Amino acid sequence: MKKYKIETIVGIFVFLGLLCIGYMTVKLGKVSFWGDDYYPIIAKFVSVTGLRDGNPVNILGIEVGQVERITMDQENQKAVVELKIKKGIKIYNDAIAAIKTEGLMGDKFISIDPGGSGSLLGPRGTITETQSPVDIVDIIGKYAFGEVKKQ
């Protein structure tokens, strides 16, 4: 009888461990089973160098979403970035999206100035005012080879 008691306790611990591992996998993987609390926004950039799916989207330094997908609009020669923004975050139609870098060699993220005009940008709305990332290698190359003029 004692053998079955120990096996039962071990089985319960293994089950609880697997349950915890499953929960952490879902939470860390940002998987949602019960509906999304996000809405899509589109931003069009001339260049998205270094930006990847899953990179964060910040407003006022607070993470409010992430990059969902990056595609190309061949007709207008622009990169189309689809963003997931948390519901309840208001973005207006005069918002400005910029691709920035965390630190000197860090990952890219999108920083949005939410704007303030009267009309809100709805789901699948497009941010037209964008700023592409600064290429630090080009800047260093211009400075190193004397293409930067001193004033």
Tens-place pLDDT, residues 31-57: 665 556 889 999 999 989 889 998 999
Nearest to 68 by CA among 49, 93, 101, 43: 43
Tens-place pLDDT, residues 72-92: 999 989 999 999 999 989 999
**Is 73 part of a structural domain of the chain?**
yes
Q: For the ranges 36-45, 76-85, 93-102, 115-124, which has the lowest average pLDDT?
A: 115-124
Q: For the ranges 6-10, 30-34, 55-59, 109-113, which has the lowest average pLDDT?
A: 30-34
Q: Are 127 and 104 in contact (CB under 8 A)?
A: no
- If asked whether residues 27 and 81 sit together in one domain, one would say no
Nearest to 68 by CA among 124, 121, 122: 124
Alpha-carbon distance 148 to 146, whole Å? Answer: 5
Model pLDDT, residue 147: 63
Domain count, the chain: 2
**Is 141 part of a structural domain of the chain?**
no
- If asked whether residues 48 and 82 sit together in one domain, one would say yes
Residue 88, SS3 per DSSP: coil
**Is 151 part of a structural domain of the chain?**
no
- If asked whether residues 13 and 69 sit together in one domain, one would say no
Asked whether residue 148 carries a pLDDT value surpassing 60, the answer given is no
- If asked whether residues 93 and 117 sit together in one domain, one would say yes
Indicate the average pLDDT of the chain: 85
Domain with 91 in it = 38-134
Asked whether residue 112 carries a pLDDT value surpassing 80, the answer given is yes
Q: For the stretch 68-77, what's the b/e string if a residue is b when 16 or more beta carbons lie within 10 angstroms of its beta carbon?
A: beeeeeeeee
Model pLDDT, residue 137: 72
CATH number where 106 lies? 2.40.30
- Altogether, the residues listed in the chain come to a count of 151
Q: pTM of the predicted model, to two decimals? A: 0.69
**DSSP assigned state of 119:** S
